[in-house]
């Protein structure tokens, strides 16, 4: 056995011994299981589980990009149809994502790649989920509200993978990703039906519904974040309470803190005021590195290997930040677009190489079900 393009020989060996463990269930799991069981039976037996997830993600991203192009500053009035279209796209992704594991068991094609692929797609979908919510409530007019929600939501998803890397078990809460997705679906449908009048409602004199919703969402975000992160300090399954790889249980927080600090400094000092003028562009360019780290955290958990504290994906935000501190030698908007292109290609290339290594090692296909040899 030799090293792969992305994974080492030792990582590939440990991957072969990986067993999925999870505890808990979400509130909507009980409600939607009959629908998901029916839906998976409509899938042809030749359809690979990862292809189901990928098709859903493409639809989710496409409808998300359409919404972002209609409201790039996240505080204008986007056409009502764009919100309904995004809600439909997210609904399709949410339910296709929910049945990929069922399809894997149904076709006998379950593998560690499926779990990694599922979580990787979820980490990217989360970005469009939060941007759509900001657009629906026109939070783009409040730049630090925007910053808070973008990075709190991406950090929330990362914290699930961080905790799993520490204790070896994926933990589901009553309010989880599925519930958040359906909240956004409902919000976008209401925004599409009612229009901007939804934001003019006053729940109390001089207290708008918009501000109430912001603080309610913030309270939920903080609660779930604390509930996920606080147990990390005492749940380590490695030697002396360390992670599965024998590293510090707090070390996975370092790379995300670096990314958030880069993002804050850029947003604070940029002359193009990205949180006001280009929040959607900024949100994708600076939160996608956190999504890549979610993928790396899942991989570290599955291979029981150290999570890298630095990664090449950080160079995109760093380059944008350095350009500012040298007096904006290059046009800042051009650099921001370059940052977006770089982090997208970096994350995509890493994902392709990881999938290629795992497929080669396990002798499987990513988007096809390998015929059983007779």
Structure confidence at residue 146 as a pLDDT band (50, 70, 90): very high
The radius of gyration of the chain's CA atoms, rounded to the nearest angstrom, is 21
pLDDT of residue 312 exceeding 70: yes
Distance CA 279, CA 142 (A): 10
Which of the pair, 56 or 140, is modelled with greater confidence? 56
pLDDT at position 208, please?
78
pLDDT at position 3, please?
74
**143 CB-near residues (< 8 Å, 6+ apart):** 267, 273, 275, 276, 279
Structure confidence at residue 210 as a pLDDT band (50, 70, 90): confident
Query: What's the mean pLDDT in 85-110?
Result: 95
How do residues 70-90 score in pLDDT, each as one tens digit?
999 998 889 999 999 999 999
pLDDT at position 184, please?
94
Structure confidence at residue 167 as a pLDDT band (50, 70, 90): very high
Q: What is the mean pLDDT of the chain?
A: 93
The one catalytic residue in 75, 119, 301, 361 is 119
pLDDT at position 374, please?
54
pTM of the model: 0.94
**103 CB-near residues (< 8 Å, 6+ apart):** 40, 43, 47, 48, 49, 52, 109
**3-state SS track over the chain:** CCCCCCCCHHHHHHHCCCCCCEECCCHHHHHHHHHHHHHHHCCCCCCCHHHHHHHHHHHHHHHHHHHHHHCCCCCCCCCHHHHHHHHHHHHHHHHHHHHHHHHHHHHCCCCHHHHHHHHHHHHHHHHHHHHHHHHHCCHHHCHHHHHHHHHHHHHHHHHHHHHHHHHCCEECCCCCHHHHHHHHHHHHHHHHHHHHHHHHCEEECCEEHHHHHHHHHHHHHHHHHHHHHHHHHHCCCCHHHCCCCCCCCCCCHHHHHHHHHHHHHHHHHCCCCHHHHCHHHHHHHHHHHHHHHHHHHHHHHHHCCCCCCCCHHHHHHHHHHHHHHCCCCCCHHHHHHHHHHHHHHHHHHHHHHHHHHHHHHHCCCCCCCCCCCC
Which of the pair, 177 or 366, is modelled with greater confidence? 366
pLDDT of residue 373 exceeding 80: no
pLDDT of residue 198 exceeding 80: no
Which of the pair, 1 or 299, is modelled with greater confidence? 299
| Annotation marks residue 119 as catalytic | yes
Contact 340, 284 (CB under 8 A): yes
How do residues 7-16 score in pLDDT, each as one tens digit?
999 999 999 8
Structure confidence at residue 1 as a pLDDT band (50, 70, 90): low
pLDDT at position 2, please?
64
Structure confidence at residue 213 as a pLDDT band (50, 70, 90): confident
pLDDT at position 4, please?
80
How do residues 266-311 score in pLDDT, each as one tens digit?
999 999 999 999 999 999 999 999 999 999 999 999 999 999 999 9
How do residues 317-354 score in pLDDT, each as one tens digit?
999 999 999 999 999 999 999 999 999 999 999 999 99
Closest CA to 228 of 212, 245, 244, 252: 252
Distance CA 338, CA 349 (A): 16
Token couple for 225 = 């974040």
Distance CA 339, CA 325 (A): 16
């Amino acid at each position: 056995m030799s090293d792969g393009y992305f994974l080492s020989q030792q990582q590939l060996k440990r991957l072969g011994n990986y067993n999925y463990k999870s505890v808990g269930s979400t509130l909507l799991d009980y409600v939607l299981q009959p629908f998901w069981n029916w839906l998976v039976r409509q899938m042809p037996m030749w359809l690979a589980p990862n292809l189901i997830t990928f098709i859903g993600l493409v639809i989710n991203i496409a409808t998300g990009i359409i919404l972002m192009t209609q409201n790039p500053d996240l505080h204008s009035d986007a056409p009502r149809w764009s919100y309904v279209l995004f809600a439909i796209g997210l609904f399709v992704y949410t339910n296709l994502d929910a049945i990929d594991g069922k399809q894997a068991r149904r076709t006998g094609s379950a593998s560690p790649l499926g779990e990694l692929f599922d979580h990787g797609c979820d980490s990217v979908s989360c970005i469009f989920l939060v941007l759509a919510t900001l657009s629906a409530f026109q939070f783009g007019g409040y730049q630090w509200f925007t910053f808070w929600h973008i990075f709190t939501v991406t950090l929330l998803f990362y914290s699930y993978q961080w905790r799993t890397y520490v204790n070896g078990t994926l933990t589901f809460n009553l309010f989880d990703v599925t519930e958040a997705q359906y909240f956004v679906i409902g919000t976008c449908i209401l925004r599409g039906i009612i229009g901007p009048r939804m934001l003019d409602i006053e729940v109390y004199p001089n207290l708008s519904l918009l501000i109430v919703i912001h603080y309610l969402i913030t309270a939920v975000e903080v609660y779930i974040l604390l509930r996920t992160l606080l147990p990390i300090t005492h749940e380590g399954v490695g030697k002396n309470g360390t992670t599965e790889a024998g590293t510090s249980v707090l070390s996975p927080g370092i790379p995300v803190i670096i990314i958030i600090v880069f993002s804050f400094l850029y947003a604070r000092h940029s002359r193009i005021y990205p949180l006001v003028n280009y929040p959607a562009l900024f949100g994708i360019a600076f939160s996608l590195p956190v999504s890549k780290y979610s993928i790396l955290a899942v991989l570290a958990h599955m291979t029981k290997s150290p999570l890298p504290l630095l990664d090449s994906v950080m160079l995109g935000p760093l380059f944008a930040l350095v350009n500012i501190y040298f007096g904006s030698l290059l046009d800042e908007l051009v650099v921001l677009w370059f940052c977006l292109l770089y982090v997208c290609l970096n994350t995509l290339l890493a994902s392709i190489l990881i999938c290629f290594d795992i497929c080669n090692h396990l002798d499987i296909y990513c988007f096809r079900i390998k015929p059983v040899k007779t």
